[in-house]
Structure formats: structure tokens, C-alpha cells
A and B are shown apart, each in its own frame.
Chain A
Amino acid sequence: MENLEAARLQMAITLIFHIVFACIGMVMPFFMVISHYKWLKTKDKVYLKLTKAWQKGVAIFFVTGAVSGTALSFELGLLWPEFMKHAGPIIGMPFSLEGAAFFVEAIALGFYLYGWKKLPEKFHWFTGVIIGVSGVMSGILVVAANGWMNSPSGFTYENGVFSNIDPIQAMLNGAWFTQALHMTLAAFVATGFAVAGIHAYQVYKGRNVVLHKKAFSIAIIFAAIAALFQPISGDISAKDVAERQPSKLAALEAHYETEKGAPLYIGGIVDEEKQEVSYKIEIPKALSFLAFGDFDAEVKGLNDFPEDEQPPVAIVHYAFQIMVGIGTLLAIVGLFYLLSLKWKKWQDNRKFWLLFTFMAPLGYIALEAGWIVTEVGRQPWIIYQVMKTKDAVTPMPGIFYSLLFYTGIYILLTCVVSWLMVRQIKVLNQKEA
């Protein structure tokens, strides 16, 4: 395997794992403080038990997210030293603010985890809220830095030299808002459905039903509402990509030829050699409308870009289909849940709980697919139309071994963390019985 490929794969694998840890660490605190709030209000012991159970989850995921994040912040330099040398000063702003937000989160977590019975009740609860808010802030700031890679701004680039650097403008680049909105909602959808799904399974199995139903209803309400908003945010993102990164749009829709009134392809199998998409469903003029709000707008095809500036098509197209497909499904399921609040007897059916059990992993699959669209769709650029990924990679050979090393560690970590979660739930159920 070539160095560049190994470095890209290592980055991808590290990010795929880190995103899961980070999102859970970002969203779970909200569930935790709601349960905590209900405990303070109702003095129902079940809520206290649930809060403490979730708190353990938050602590485990926060630390796993923090160490994988520390590794990641070094990896940016270890794998892409040329990128960091030039981009570091320009996009440092969101990173330094992220560092601050993360620090606040760690301090608040210290108060929260160790503050039971030591701090005044309300202050203690409030530190939990700070964990959640600063976690979301961190997420938004990191995504803003990624937005800059898609929509570089805040500098002048001439003859390979970056000058006139304006860090604030770089942070507030064209993509930051749409990306941050889409990602924050995605974190809530994915974590909400995952947590709800795990508790739904316990209800389905009839274990400790009172507690798990309460847990389910806290998690699912976040997930359902976020899932309903997500298609709107997705539409904004697509229009944004159409305008700023036409090569990405062409790849995610697998359009090779430029045309007016371009059709939307749903599904299909991409043949990159023959430049064809077979077995697809075609909706006439829909792509032009979705991307530009005009049925006859021109959509640029991949063949209008130089060959060495085209992103890989098949993977981006498939990832996009997965993301949109799951996103739509989850929005429908979310609506279904909201309706079940009115028609309560739906929830008496065991199949209701089975349905949500199956939804558990889907949000995260969509979230990962979405990042594949963003990252692979930007290739071959690391900074869109400024620096290519191959020019940023470390000169050190043998990254393949580093790739094996990191992959091994992350797989191990994931196994241990999942195993710990299973144990938490088992112990939680035992105590009740």
C-alpha cells in the first residue's frame, strides 16, 4: 500500500471511531441532565438511578473521546505536516476556541462526577448543563475548521505562498454554518436513536421496564425532533455544495456529463470505467431543482473537471445514498414516535419496541456515510482547490504499519467500551430485580 493511501486510510479510521465517541460524549450529557432534572423535581428514585447510569456512560465516552481526540490532534501533524504548516495558523482560531470549550467541559465534568452530595443541588445540576453546552460548542468549532477545508477563505494564495491571513474570516468560512448545523443535528439523531434503541431492546425483553421506558422517552424525543429537521438542513447543505463544490455534487450524484434539467439518480450501481450508473431510479429534472431551485438549471458533470481533480465517484455516490436513505427513514420513524404520543396504545405492542431496537445503529451508519461524502467528495484536495492531499502527506515512509497499529488499538477500544456498556446494563437490571 502506498504511503498516501495508508495515511488517508489511517485518518479515515481514526475519524470514524472518534466521531462516534465524540458524538456520544456530546449528546449523552443532555439526556443525563434531563433525567437529573426529573429526579430533583419528582424525587422518583428511578430517575436518580438512570442519571447515575448515564453518568457512567458519559464519563467513559468522554475519556475515550478525549484520548482519541488527543491522538487525532497529533495525527493531523504526524500524517499531514505540510497541511498543518500552512493551514495551522489560518484555521487555528476554531481549534484554539475548541480547546477552551473542551477545557470548560472537562472542568464541568470534574464538578459533576464528583459533586454528588458535595455541591449545592442546583449548582451541581447546572454543571451538567455546562458539560452538554460546551460539548456542542466544541463540536461546532471543529466542524468549522473542517468547513474551511471545503470552503477556504481568510487568506490570499499566490505562487504557493499564503498571505494576508485573517483567522476570523477563515473561521467564519462559507461552509461552517451549514456543516455545523447538519452535524449537530446528526449527532442528536444518531445518539438519540442509538440510546433509545438500546433501552427499547430492554423493554422488548421485559427487563426493568419502568426505568428503560423512562430512558427511552428522554432519548427518543431529542432524536425524533432532530430527525424531522435534518432533511431541511440537508437541503441547505446540498444547495451549498452545489454552489461551492460542483465537483463534489457531481460525484455524490454520479453525474459525468454536464446537462440542463439534470435528473436525480436514486440508488444504482456506478461503473467508474464506463462512466455509467445502471439500475438507478431517475427523477427527471429533480437534481437541477434540488441543487439550484430551478428545474432547468445547469448541473456541471465530472467530465468538465480535469481528470486529476475528480473525486472518487462510486464510494461518494453510495455513501450519499445511504445517508439520505437512512435520514429519510429516521425522519419517518421519528414522526411515528411523535404520533404514538397521541395514540398511546401503539406503545403496548411489543413490535413497537422491536422497531426502535432495529433503528439503534442506523443513525450512526448515516453519520459515518455523511462524513465519507464530505471528506472523500473533497478529494483530491485537502484544501479545496488550493492544496492537494498528496502534497500534504508526511515524507516518512512505512505509514502502513502505523495504520495497522492505530486500527488495532481502536478496534480493541471499541470492543472494550461496548463490553463495558453491556455490563452496565446487566448490572442496572440486576439491581432492580
Chain B
Amino acid sequence: MLTVVLFFLFFSLFLYVLLAGADFGGGIIELFSLPKNQEKTKQTIYRVMGPIWEANHIWIIILIVIMWIAFPEYFNIFVVYLHIPITLMLLGITIRGVAFIFRHYDAVKGKSQTSYNVLFKMGSILSPLFLGVIFGGLVGGNINLHTTGANLGFKEIYIDGWFNTFSLLIGLFYTALCTFIASNFLIGEADDEHELNEYRKKASYSTIVLVLIGFIILLYGYFNEVAFVLDFLENPFSLLAVFISGVVLIPLWKMIKLKRKVWARVLAGVQVLLVLSAAMLAHFPDIIITSTKEVSILDGVAPDSVIFVLGIALIIGGSVILPGLFHLMKSFQLIKLFK
């Protein structure tokens, strides 16, 4: 049953990274669009994302609930030492969530739209940036546990763990990844040639930025001996995954050129899956690396009775939710496999 629980944990993580990522990325693209194109982009995002928008963001709740039920000790370190970036990420999620709904449901379409737009774009950057910073904090090896006995201050315990170059780089990486996902996704939704070219441009820029930041992270990690990066470079599976994801870029570009929307989306999804698995495989199951020790996600795992019931609940819940979600996406033609 533990396998089932772990599967759902990573499955939710993957879907959150992908779907919420596409969502965050939409806001970032809007931010980087010329003022004359912004309104158009905004409408496309709303048309495409609107129906599944609420559902996209529930994956993070599923994720956190699985964490606290099944992996309580892991969750404990997560919430104690990364309190501040988590709060900032929540701020991002909150302002962009309400701004998204306000700008479409405000009965008067007037000046207030400008402030909603600003909030939406701000939140779209803040959320993925801090999500990345949190992950960077978890694996960066900079968290100082206060149980080590050393006389540490507030800064050492609650700030140094996440406020550092490595975490920031990971944050930027995820932000770029979101832009990559969203632009590839939106290409299939463009109404005219002009809009299509806009998204194509965004897709190629974000790919370049993404590869560049990825490269910097590896270099930085290698020269500063960040354990996570070193393990990453030594792990054959991680390297293979990164290699494949590099190779997949070529058919992805081809599909975009040939306007094969479905394949382009599938390949972009595969990209994300590969990057994510490379990061996860590098260190599984030690997904927290502190300055003194590594903490496995399986340390202090909940007793079997809990895991068993949770596994059952997830299987039942999944078999209700996934077909529903699939049907929702199909009804609004977000999945065009059958056309």
C-alpha cells in the first residue's frame, strides 16, 4: 500500500507542477506580452483554463494532505524550517486566485480591472518562484536543524535554509518551466497567425532560458559541492532522464512547426515528467537534505493501519475524480485526442 500512497503523492505532484504550472505560466506570458496583445492573451487563457481552473489547484491540497497523513515527520521539517517561503507562496496563490476570479466576475468592467491584472501577474510570478525556492530549500543542504545543539539564531534556522543562490536558481528554473509549459499549451489555442507567432516566440525564449538556468544550476552545484547536484550527476537514471528530455526537444519543435497540437502537448508534458523524475530519482527517498544529515521521506512513515486506509481512500477517490476530470477536460475540448 505504501507504493500506492507514494504513487499518488508523485502523481499529484506531477499534475500540480504541470497543470498549475501551465496556469502560472499563462500569467507570466501575459506579463511579458506587449500591452496590445495582453487583452487577447488574457481571453485565451480564460477560455482555455477557465473550466479546469478550480480543479488545477486542488492537487496541492491532495499533495499536502497525503504528506501530513503518511509522512508526518517529513512534513514537520517542511513546515517548521520553510515557514517563510511557504507563507510567501501562499500569498502568491491567494492573490492570483482571487484576482483571476475577480477580473472575470466583477459586474462592472472598469478601472478596477487594472489592479486585478497587476495582482494576477504578480501572483503568477510569486507562486512558482517560491514553490521552486521551497524545493531548492528542501534539497539544497542549507537547512540548519535546531536540534543539532549548536547555538543558532533566527537567521540561521529560519532564513538561511531557503534564502540562498541555489534555492533562488531552482525558483527561477521552475518559473521558466511554467512559462515553457504554458506557451506550448497555448500554441494549440491561438486563434490567428499573429497570436500563434507570439506564443511560438514565447515557447522558444522560455526553452532557451530553461536550458540555460538548468545548466547554471548544474555548474553552480558542481563547483559548490551541493550534495543534491553531485548525486544528480552521479545517478545514471537522472542523467538518462535529462538526456532524453533534451532529445525530446527536437520532436517537440517539429510538432509545433507542423501544428500537431496534441503531440506538442504530450511531448511538453513528457518533458516536465522527465525533469521532475530526474530531480526525484537523484535522491529518493532522501528528499530533505539538511546541513548535517539527510532525511528520508520514509523516516517516521505513518503506521501500516494508516497507510492501508489512506491507500484505499486514494484508490476510491482517484477512481471518482480522474474520470470526472477527464470528462471535464474533454467536454471543453482541452483534450483533443479523439478528434
Alpha-carbon distance between A104 and B328 when the two chains are bound, in angstroms: 11
Contact indicator A110/B328 (Cβ below 8 Å): yes
What's the nearest-Cβ distance from chain B to residue A425, in Å? 8
Residues of chain B within 8 A (CB-CB) of A166 are: 305
CB closest residue in chain B, given A406: B87
Contact indicator A84/B58 (Cβ below 8 Å): no
Alpha-carbon distance between A31 and B79 when the two chains are bound, in angstroms: 39
B106 within 8 A of A: yes
Binds B, one of A60-68, A178-186, A290-298, A307-315: A60-68
Residues of chain B within 8 A (CB-CB) of A104 are: 320-321, 324
B331 within 8 A of A: yes
Alpha-carbon distance between A63 and B302 when the two chains are bound, in angstroms: 32
Contact indicator B75/A84 (Cβ below 8 Å): yes
A77 within 8 A of B: yes
A206 within 8 A of B: no
Interface residues of B in 92-110 (CB under 8 A from A): 93-94, 97-98, 100-102, 105-108
B313 within 8 A of A: yes
Alpha-carbon distance between A74 and B78 when the two chains are bound, in angstroms: 11
Binds A, one of B31-39, B60-68, B202-210: B60-68
Residue-wise interface mask of A (318-354) relative to B, using a CB-CB cutoff of 8 A (1 in contact, 0 not): 0000000000000000000000000000000000000
B6 within 8 A of A: no
Contact indicator B68/A88 (Cβ below 8 Å): yes
Residues of chain A within 8 A (CB-CB) of B212 are: none
Residues of chain B within 8 A (CB-CB) of A70 are: 57, 60-61, 90, 93-94
* Other-chain contact of B72, A67, A88, A420 (Cβ < 8 Å): A88
What's the nearest-Cβ distance from chain A to residue B200, in Å? 27
CB closest residue in chain B, given A410: B94
Residues of chain B within 8 A (CB-CB) of A69 are: 61
Residues of chain A within 8 A (CB-CB) of B154 are: 397-398
Alpha-carbon distance between A331 and B305 when the two chains are bound, in angstroms: 45
Residues of chain B within 8 A (CB-CB) of A73 are: 61, 64-65
Binds A, one of B48-56, B190-198, B268-276: B48-56
B86 within 8 A of A: yes
Contact indicator A77/B101 (Cβ below 8 Å): no
Binds B, one of A35-43, A112-120, A276-284: A112-120
Contact indicator B87/A96 (Cβ below 8 Å): no
Interface size range of chain A in the complex: 35 or more
Contact indicator A74/B69 (Cβ below 8 Å): no
Residue-wise interface mask of A (157-178) relative to B, using a CB-CB cutoff of 8 A (1 in contact, 0 not): 0000001111110000000000
Alpha-carbon distance between A25 and B79 when the two chains are bound, in angstroms: 28
Contact indicator B69/A99 (Cβ below 8 Å): no
Residues of chain B within 8 A (CB-CB) of A113 are: 50-51
Alpha-carbon distance between A411 and B142 when the two chains are bound, in angstroms: 36
CB closest residue in chain B, given A71: B90
**With contact pairs A77-B68, A104-B324, A107-B321 given, residues A62 and B306 touching in the complex (Cβ less than 8 Å):** no
Contact indicator A107/B324 (Cβ below 8 Å): yes
Alpha-carbon distance between A73 and B68 when the two chains are bound, in angstroms: 10
**With contact pairs A81-B79, A96-B317, A113-B50 given, residues A67 and B97 touching in the complex (Cβ less than 8 Å):** yes
A45 within 8 A of B: no
Residue-wise interface mask of B (144-186) relative to A, using a CB-CB cutoff of 8 A (1 in contact, 0 not): 0010000000100110000000000000000000000000000
Interface residues of B in 80-131 (CB under 8 A from A): 80, 83, 86-87, 90-91, 93-94, 97-98, 100-102, 105-108
Residues of chain B within 8 A (CB-CB) of A396 are: 80, 83, 157-158
A261 within 8 A of B: no
Residues of chain A within 8 A (CB-CB) of B53 are: 110
Interface residues of B in 287-339 (CB under 8 A from A): 302-303, 305-306, 309-310, 313-314, 316-317, 320-321, 324-325, 328, 331-332
B241 within 8 A of A: no
Residues of chain A within 8 A (CB-CB) of B108 are: 423, 427
Interface residues of A in 118-175 (CB under 8 A from B): 118-119, 163-168
Residues of chain B within 8 A (CB-CB) of A62 are: 54
Contact indicator B69/A416 (Cβ below 8 Å): no
Contact indicator A110/B52 (Cβ below 8 Å): yes
Alpha-carbon distance between A84 and B306 when the two chains are bound, in angstroms: 14
What's the nearest-Cβ distance from chain B to residue A299, in Å? 38
Contact indicator B55/A106 (Cβ below 8 Å): yes
Contact indicator B87/A78 (Cβ below 8 Å): yes
Contact indicator B54/A110 (Cβ below 8 Å): yes
Contact indicator A107/B325 (Cβ below 8 Å): yes
Alpha-carbon distance between A26 and B55 when the two chains are bound, in angstroms: 17
CB closest residue in chain B, given A425: B107
**With contact pairs A99-B61, A402-B87 given, residues A165 and B305 touching in the complex (Cβ less than 8 Å):** yes
Contact indicator A84/B83 (Cβ below 8 Å): no
Contact indicator B87/A99 (Cβ below 8 Å): no
Residues of chain A within 8 A (CB-CB) of B72 are: 84-86, 88-89
Residues of chain B within 8 A (CB-CB) of A269 are: none
Contact indicator A114/B107 (Cβ below 8 Å): no
User: Residue among A74, A86, A114 with the most chain B CB within 10 A?
Assistant: A74
* Other-chain contact of B97, A66, A85, A168 (Cβ < 8 Å): A66
What's the nearest-Cβ distance from chain B to residue A77, in Å? 4
Residues of chain B within 8 A (CB-CB) of A78 are: 79, 83, 86-87
* 25 A-B pairs (CB sep. < 8 Å): A62-B54, A63-B100, A70-B61, A74-B90, A76-B68, A82-B76, A84-B79, A90-B306, A92-B65, A93-B310, A96-B65, A96-B69, A99-B58, A100-B316, A103-B317, A106-B58, A107-B321, A110-B50, A110-B332, A113-B51, A114-B51, A118-B332, A167-B310, A395-B80, A420-B102
Interface residues of B (CB under 8 A from A): 50-55, 57-58, 60-62, 64-66, 68-70, 72-73, 75-76, 78-80, 83, 86-87, 90-91, 93-94, 97-98, 100-102, 105-108, 146, 154, 157-158, 302-303, 305-306, 309-310, 313-314, 316-317, 320-321, 324-325, 328, 331-332
Interface residues of A (CB under 8 A from B): 56, 59-60, 62-64, 66-71, 73-74, 76-78, 81-82, 84-86, 88-90, 92-93, 95-97, 99-100, 102-104, 106-107, 109-111, 113-115, 118-119, 163-168, 394-398, 402, 405, 409, 413, 416, 420, 423-424, 426-428
Complex A-B, nearest 8 residue pairs according to Cβ-Cβ distance, in ascending order: A92-B69, A77-B79, A100-B317, A88-B68, A89-B302, A106-B54, A427-B107, A67-B97
Known contacts A78-B79, A104-B320, A114-B50, then 17 further A-B pairs from the complex at CB < 8 Å, ordered by chain A residue: A60-B101, A64-B98, A67-B94, A70-B60, A70-B93, A73-B61, A77-B64, A99-B58, A100-B316, A100-B321, A102-B61, A109-B54, A110-B328, A167-B305, A396-B157, A402-B87, A416-B102
